[in-house]
Amino acid sequence: MNAALAINHHADHPGFSGATGVLFGVMFMLVGRAKAKLAARVADVSPADHVVDVGCGPGTAARVAARNGARVTGVDPSAAMLRVAGFVTRKGDITWCEGAAEDLPVEGSTATVVWALATVHHWQDVDKAIGEAHRVLSPGGRLIAIERQSPVGATGLASHGWTRQQAESFASLCRDTGFDNVCVGTHGSGRGAVWIVSGTRR
């Protein structure tokens, strides 16, 4: 695969910490609502679910899942993001954990949904992280990744997403890891268009 089109082409991002992390956490709350609602619809979240939100940031999607009755574990490497998430969360069955996609602080076979919203392109080790998602999901559980659609050759903010090749490459890794019914879909148009990659744990 062309290095410029690696699935995790922003793995070198320094992350969010301190006051800057808090500031970005507040900003992400304002811009992440549409993807959060979309993920909940795609997963058809219900009170029967345990949702693991990988790269949960300030917890917008986690709170949507909790409002649908699910038990939720929000995982993020940024303590600053988790402080924002905890501060603005008033109710719901949500546990906030500092951790990475490659080493989820979740017991095996206990989740029914693992989702990552606009975060896979930052993962350090995509193969290992998909393996972790497979480990924590119970049989029949679903992995869902949503990423912004980015044109080939995009730079700056526009590059924080995937081309079709990157979406298909992620789907292929999911199949190789033991996920069934893996599909690549799209939602929205223009600047709001996203890729949706989903699969079911065997």
- Model pLDDT for residues 101-146, shown as the tens digit of each residue: 999 999 999 999 999 999 999 999 999 999 999 999 999 999 999 9
Domain range for 29: 18-201
Residues 6+ apart with CB under 8 A from 156: none
Q: Are 97 and 103 in contact (CB under 8 A)?
A: no
For residue 110, tell me if it sits in a domain.
yes
For residue 3, tell me if it sits in a domain.
no
pLDDT number for residue 71: 98
For residue 5, tell me if it sits in a domain.
no
Q: pLDDT digit string (tens) for 62-72?
A: 999 999 999 99
Instruction: Judge whether residue 152 has pLDDT over 70.
Output: yes
Sign of CA dihedral 35, 36, 37, 41: positive
What is the CATH classification number for the domain harbouring 139?
3.40.50.150
Q: Point out the least confidently predicted range of 79-83, 146-150, 155-159.
A: 155-159
Q: pLDDT digit string (tens) for 153-184?
A: 888 877 889 999 999 999 999 999 999 999 99
Residues linked to residue 3 through DSSP beta bridges, in sequence order: none
For residue 8, tell me if it sits in a domain.
no
End-to-end CA distance of the chain: 27
Q: Confirm whether pTM is higher than 0.85.
A: yes
pLDDT number for residue 157: 76
pLDDT number for residue 18: 63
For residue 116, tell me if it sits in a domain.
yes
Total number of domains in the chain:
1
| Helix or strand (DSSP H, E) at 137 | strand 137-148
pLDDT number for residue 111: 98
